[in-house]
Amino acid sequence: MGLYVKQSDTRSQLQEKLAQELQDRAREKAKQADLPDGVDDSAYIENTSLTSKFGWVWIVIIAAVIIAAIWLLVISINS
């Protein structure tokens, strides 16, 4: 037959200790997360710009590619 072992819902001392350590680590990480992007030195972004003066050219090129793809699709469907 089988042996029924009663399990209690209480935590052991080791489980309590591990839970406390994990909570402490989480609190320490939360305190260190003051930086919005996680970067402590933003020197890597110096001398860069958001968009060059020819940014609109990329928009025109992408629009032309989309229009060409649609045109080719319409031609292939009609033939």
Stretch 10-27: mean pLDDT, rounded? 88
Q: How many residues does the chain have?
A: 79
The average pLDDT across 10-16 equals 83
The separation between the first and the last C-alpha atoms of the chain, rounded to the nearest angstrom, is 78
For the entire predicted model, the pTM comes to 0.40
Distance, in Å, from the CA atom of 22 to the CA atom of 79, rounded to the nearest integer, reads 66
5-9, 60-64, 71-75: least confident range: 5-9
Per the prediction, the chain carries an average pLDDT of 82
Q: What's residue 33's pLDDT? A: 59
Residue type, 50: L
pLDDT at site 68? 97
Tell me which DSSP letter residue 37 carries.
S
